[in-house]
Amino acid sequence: MFAVYADVLDESDPLRGLVIGDRPEGPVPAGWARVDVRAAALNHHDLWSLRGVGLAAEALPMILGCDAAGIDEEGNEVIVHAVISDPSTWSGDETLDPKRSLLSERHQGTFADTVVVPRRNLVPKPAGLSFAEAACLPTAWLTAYRMLFTQSGLAPGDSVLVQGAGGGVSTALIALARAGGFRVFATSRDEAKRRRALDLGAHEAVEPSARLPQRVDAVMETVGAATWSHSLMSLRPGGTIVVCGATSGPNPERAELNRIFFLQFRIQGSTMGTRAELERLVAFLELTGIRPLIDRALPMEQARDGFAALLAGDVFGKLIFTR
């Protein structure tokens, strides 16, 4: 079958190991299902995989991709939940399972004609969502939903700062926060991206180091080292920083622990989301009418162009591969 996969890992030149070609279809274990992929979303996770982060050399060749929407063996339109847990040893929140993985880490991913996943990982796709829109949800949009509505402690009317407007998680955070009744601030180094953040629903968009007109109740932190100090400075006493990633690096020059304990900040980590949260996210989109922002959709045969655009930061919203 057609597939986009990693054959070599290279930390400094991740695209060197990207291959577009053919791979054999894998078996379907008991309790699993084969899904014909109609659309799949590109994530930073895929670039990190090519660098060897979360993907071991002995697992190669590995089909990349966490997210997909398609049609299962019974003809149902489905969304694939990307978190693979072990129900024989773990119950409850699958994101906390020590043995969990994402598709394309230990199990072949979604950038292919078909993907094989546990049947419990399939969520019905509503007719009102296109396959491309639905493919945006399992990683970026689910991560944003969990950050805002599970981890932040925010209530409608509260204020939130979204660092680094432009990425898939950040654009999802802006749209979801506005629809959820929050006052939304966003940052970006790029003036054009700040304008687009306003169009997406942010009340104000500023440069990353700019002082906000008010201290916010929570900060959604996806950038890491480059914005950490600004996140702390922008937060009200007793507020929360929810951290889901660190695209600029995980180790800020100053942790500023004195500010954290003196102002009683809460630092909350957040990773992906549960299948139940994915179902609630789908319902939220149906009720509100908001839809994922898609930067562009490319045939999967042009996957290298999509990877290059993401690596260059030339993306606002989600980049989709279609079959």
Q: Which residues are 18's β-sheet partners?
A: 6
- Residue pair 14/50 in contact (Cβ under 8 Å)? The answer is yes
The residues near 192 (Cβ < 8 Å, ≥ 6 apart) are: none
What is the pLDDT, as a whole number, of residue 250? Answer: 86
Q: What is the pLDDT along the chain (323 residues), one digit of tens a residue?
A: 999 999 999 999 999 999 999 999 999 999 999 999 999 999 999 999 999 999 999 999 999 999 999 999 999 999 999 999 988 888 889 999 999 999 999 999 999 999 999 999 999 999 999 999 999 999 999 999 999 999 999 999 999 999 999 889 999 999 999 999 999 999 999 999 999 999 999 999 999 889 999 999 999 999 999 999 999 999 999 999 999 988 888 888 888 999 999 999 999 999 999 999 999 999 999 999 999 999 999 999 999 999 999 999 999 999 999 99
Q: Which CATH superfamily is domain 140-269 in?
A: NAD(P)-binding Rossmann-like Domain (3.40.50.720)
Contact 34, 114 (CB under 8 A): yes
150-to-267, 269, 283 alpha-carbon distances in Å: 14, 11, 15
- The DSSP secondary structure of 113-170, one letter per residue, reads SEEEEEGGGEEEPPTTS-HHHHHTIIIIIHHHHHIIIIIS---TT-EEEESSBTBHHH
Residue 188's pLDDT is 94
Q: What angle do CA 37, 3, 22 make, to 5 degrees?
A: 130
pLDDT at 82: 97
| Single pTM value for the model | 0.95
Task: Report the pLDDT value the prediction gives residue 249, as an integer from 0 to 100.
Answer: 84
Question: How far is the CA of 1 from the CAs of 16, 24, 36, 102, 104, in angstroms?
Answer: 22, 6, 11, 21, 16
Fold topology of 2-136+292-322: Quinone Oxidoreductase; Chain A, domain 1 (3.90.180)
77-108: b (≥16 Cβ within 10 Å) or e:
bbbbbbbbbeeeeeeeebbebeebebbbbebb
10: alpha, beta or left? (left if phi > 0; alpha if psi -120 to 50): beta
Q: What are the residue ranges spanned by the domains of the chain?
A: 2-136+292-322, 140-269
